[in-house]
Amino acid sequence: MTRSAIVVGGGPAGLMAAETLAQSGARVDVFDAMPSVGRKFLLAGKGGLNLTHSEPFDAFASRFGARRPQIEPLLRAFDAGALRQWAGGLGVTTFVGSSGRVFPLDMKAAPLLRAWLHRLRGQGVRFHMRHRWVGWGDDGAGLRFATPAGDHVARAPAVVLALGGASWPRLGSDGAWLPLLRDRGVPVRELLPSNCGFDVALPHGWSEFFRDRFAGQPLKNVALSFDGADGTRLHQQGEFIVTEGGVEGSLVYAASGALRDTIAATGVALAHIDLLPQRSAGFVAAEVARPRGSRSLSTHLKTRLGIEGVKAALLRELLPREVFNDAASLAGAIKALPLPLARPRPVAEAISSAGGVPFEALDDGLMLRALPGVFVAGEMLDWEAPTGGYLLTACFATGRAAGAAASMR
* Cβ-proximal residues to 221 (8 Å cutoff; 6+ apart), any chain: 237, 239, 277, 278
Q: Look at phi and psi of residue 210 and say left if phi exceeds 0, alpha if psi is from -120 to 50, else beta.
A: alpha
The whole-number pLDDT of residue 258 equals 93
Strands across the sheet containing 132-136? 132-136, 143-147, 150-154
Give CA separation, 34 vs 14, 38, 147, 398, in Å.
Answer: 14, 9, 10, 22
Tens of pLDDT, residue by residue, the chain (409 residues): 668 999 999 999 999 999 999 999 999 999 999 999 999 999 887 778 999 999 999 999 999 999 999 999 999 999 999 999 999 999 999 999 999 999 999 999 999 999 999 999 999 999 999 999 999 987 777 999 999 999 999 999 999 999 999 998 998 899 999 999 999 999 999 999 999 999 999 999 999 999 999 999 999 999 999 987 777 788 999 999 999 999 999 999 999 999 999 999 999 999 999 999 999 999 999 999 999 889 999 999 999 999 999 999 999 999 999 999 999 999 999 999 999 999 999 999 999 999 999 999 999 999 999 999 999 999 999 999 999 999 999 999 999 999 999 999 8
Class of the CATH domain delimited by 4-192+354-406: alpha beta
Per DSSP, the three-state class of 109 is coil
Q: Give burial (CB, 10 Å; 0-12/13-18/19+) of 377.
A: buried
> Domain residues of the chain, as ranges?
4-192+354-406, 198-344
The answer to whether residues 394 and 76 touch, using CB atoms and an 8 Å cutoff, is: no
The whole-number pLDDT of residue 2 equals 67
Q: Look at phi and psi of residue 181 and say left if phi exceeds 0, alpha if psi is from -120 to 50, else beta.
A: alpha
What is d(CA 409, CA 394) in angstroms, rounded to the nearest whole number?
23
Buried residues in 59-72 as b, exposed as e (16+ CB within 10 A):
ebbebbeebeebbb
The answer to whether residues 135 and 180 touch, using CB atoms and an 8 Å cutoff, is: yes
DSSP of 366-380: SBBTTSTTEEE-GGG
Per DSSP, the three-state class of 233 is strand
